[in-house]
Amino acid sequence: MTTLVVGPLDNLAGAIAAAAPGDKVFFTGEHPAQRITNSGTDTAFCELYSNGTGRIHSEGGAAAGNTEYGLWLDRCSYWGFRDFTVHDAAKGIVADTTTHTAFKLVEVHTTKDEGWKFRSNSHHLYLSNCAVHDTGIAATDGVFGEGYYVGDASSNWPDPASPDATQYIKFTNCKAWRTYGDGWDIKEGSRYVHLVGCEVDHRLGNAPAYGNQFGDTGCYTRGDYVYFEGCTIYSAPGYGFKCYDTAAIGGVVYGRNVYLKAGSATSLNLSGVGSQSDAPDGMHVYSDFSGTKDQVGGGWLANYGNLNPSTYTAPTFTPSPASSYYTAEPWPSGTGTTNPWAAFFS
């Protein structure tokens, strides 16, 4: 097991490609976009990390017409990523069919489209103390400026019977601000997504316009078994949390079993949370959630917003060594900004 040290003038791509299971790549300085196709093992992770000074960017930046991702995880597994920045790219970090991988203190900003995107049946991805901001720089309609994007829209599936089942994704103490689109967008077909202590702040500018077509929510979900635990949304143009079930796609209705426990949400124009589902297995809001609630379509549930917090059970994912590769930490207090945690990223 070797630690490869890469300086500002060294070849980061070569070091990553040479990493064998158990190897670590430590880098500093600015480097061009990277694509990772090699993997570690369940007992010997590879790791790409820095001390906060490492930066990865696309030469095309966030300009319209650029299609290059900053960091592309292309069918790789058993990696750890820690303490660096990906910026100025079409999309920041994209995971395609990537599994058993962990991220900590990774910042994504200044993207043409989405900041983070997990798709193509990726699974067991764990993010702690990560951030995204200033997304959708080249967008004019908010459609492609989401902060964290899980799964893929059904229009991109091979056929209605073949969903993108990206699953077992956990975010702990992750942040999003100045996203020109939803802070989180969890698509139909994805499932078992767990957010703990996460925040979206639309008070700091670059917020989408008000309107469903503009991606104007804090967190939008059509996934199944999605858990928001102690999460906070500030000043969303639309709903803070927007939970929709879909019309049947290939005979399947998605967007069921969504749980909202504790936390709070404020909206500039609508309610803290809006739910379309009137199914018994649709939206579950616990009484310790702080924010107004609205039924968008269908009928009301009797327990909507009145569930006893003591009955909540956090999801249990199938085992993965990535779940404990990094440990999430509380954010330190900060000063001089609307939201203290923004001070810890550029």
pLDDT tens string for the chain (346 positions)? Answer: 899 999 999 999 999 999 999 999 999 999 999 999 999 999 999 999 999 999 999 999 998 889 999 999 999 999 999 999 999 999 999 999 999 999 999 999 999 999 999 999 999 999 999 999 999 987 655 468 999 999 999 999 999 999 999 999 999 999 999 999 999 999 999 999 999 999 999 888 777 877 766 788 999 999 999 999 999 999 999 989 988 887 789 999 999 899 999 999 999 998 888 887 666 677 888 999 988 776 655 444 544 667 899 999 999 999 999 999 999 988 765 443 444 455 555 4
What is the predicted pLDDT for the residue at 279?
Answer: 67
What is the predicted pLDDT for the residue at 336?
Answer: 38
What is the predicted pLDDT for the residue at 6?
Answer: 98
| Domain residue extents for the chain | 113-344
Helix (H), strand (E), coil (C) string for 98-167? CEEEEEEEEEEEEECCCCEEEECCCEEEEEECCEEEEECCCCCCCCCCCCEEECCCHHHCCCCCCCCCCE
Nearest to 226, CA basis, from 95, 315, 298, 159: 315
Q: Amino acid identity of 260? A: L
Give me the residue label for tokens 């997304």: 135
Element containing residue 15 per DSSP (H, E): helix 12-18
Q: Amino acid identity of 336? A: G
What is the predicted pLDDT for the residue at 246?
Answer: 78
Beta bridge partners of 236: 267
